[in-house]
Amino acid sequence: MRKKDRHRLITRLLAEKNIQKQEDFVTYLEEKGIEVTQATISRDIKEMKLIKVPSVDGGYRYSIPAETKEDTSVKLEKLMKDAFVSVDQMEKQVILRTIPGNAAAASKLIEKHYKDIVFATLNDDASVLIIARTEKDAEFLKNEFFRYL
Q: Is the pTM of this model over 0.85?
A: no
The domain defined by 69-147 folds into: Gyrase A; domain 2 (3.30.1360)
Q: Which helix (H) or strand (E) holds 101?
A: none
Between 67 and 62, name the one with better pLDDT: 62
In this predicted model, what pLDDT tens digit does every residue of 65-77 receive, in sequence order?
876 556 788 899 9
Q: Which helix (H) or strand (E) holds 121?
A: strand 118-123
- The one-letter amino acid at 108: K
Q: CA–CA separation, 129 vs 72, rounded Å?
A: 19
CA max distance for the chain: 55
At the top level of CATH, the class of 3-63 is mainly alpha
Q: CA–CA separation, 1 vs 52, rounded Å?
A: 25
3-state secondary structure of 73: helix
pLDDT at 147: 87
Chain centroid offset of residue 80 CA:
16
Nearest to 11 by CA among 46, 48, 36: 48
Mean pLDDT of the chain: 92
Domain with CATH 3.30.1360.40 in the chain: 69-147
Nearby residues of 82 by Cβ (< 8 Å), 6 or more positions away:
99, 102
